[in-house]
């Protein structure tokens, strides 16, 4: 596999190199193979390389390449939009990690929750029920006042 870099442009805003070129090979190389070769050539970690396209023409053993080489993972995360699949995978990984740490914490003896002084009060629950029933009454009053203004 031979690389012929046609355009190599530094983009300091996104902290990356934008590369366009051609690859000469018998078979269309995979994105992983190209990323590995670019990482060796430019001394960049494979995870910081985005291969946009590898296009071939029928019968030709020459493939067009468009890629970006980022300076760091943070720069890549800042500039690239993640797909829904990637976001879901990260969310699942974070959730699994949270469950793992939760499992460690749950192995400690659980402390029973203490009731407030004086036990549970039914007066508080009655007040909340009354305040909920007052809300519809206030809405009816507002509607009646709007109707009176129209007349």
Q: pLDDT tens, 27-62?
A: 999 999 999 999 999 999 999 999 999 999 888 999
Q: Does 15 fall in a domain?
A: yes
Q: Does 10 fall in a domain?
A: yes
**CATH classification of the domain holding 65:** 3.30.70.330
- pLDDT value of residue 108: 53
Q: Does 86 fall in a domain?
A: no
Between 54 and 146, whose confidence is greater? 54
Confidence band of 82 (pLDDT split at 50, 70, 90): confident
Q: Does 39 fall in a domain?
A: yes
Q: Does 22 fall in a domain?
A: yes
Burial of 5 from C-beta contacts in 10 A (0-12 / 13-18 / 19+): middle
Domain that holds residue 16: 2-79
- pLDDT value of residue 35: 94
Instruction: Tell me how many domains the chain contains.
Output: 1
CA distance 63 to 68: 17
Confidence band of 103 (pLDDT split at 50, 70, 90): confident
Q: Does 133 fall in a domain?
A: no
């Amino acid at each position: 596999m031979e690389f012929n870099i046609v355009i190599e442009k530094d983009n300091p805003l996104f902290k990356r190199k934008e590369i366009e070129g051609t690859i000469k090979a018998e078979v269309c190389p995979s994105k992983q193979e190209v990323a590995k070769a670019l990482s060796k050539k430019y001394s960049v970690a494979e995870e910081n390389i985005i291969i946009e396209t590898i296009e071939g023409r029928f019968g030709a053993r020459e493939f067009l390449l468009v890629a970006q080489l980022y300076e760091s993972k943070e720069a890549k995360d800042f500039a690239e939009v993640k797909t829904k699949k990637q976001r879901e995978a990260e969310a699942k990984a974070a959730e699994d990690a949270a469950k793992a740490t939760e499992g460690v914490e749950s192995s400690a003896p659980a402390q029973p929750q203490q009731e407030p002084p004086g036990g549970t009060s039914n007066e508080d629950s009655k007040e909340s029920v009354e305040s909920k029933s007052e809300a519809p009454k206030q809405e009816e009053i507002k509607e009646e006042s709007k109707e009176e203004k129209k007349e």
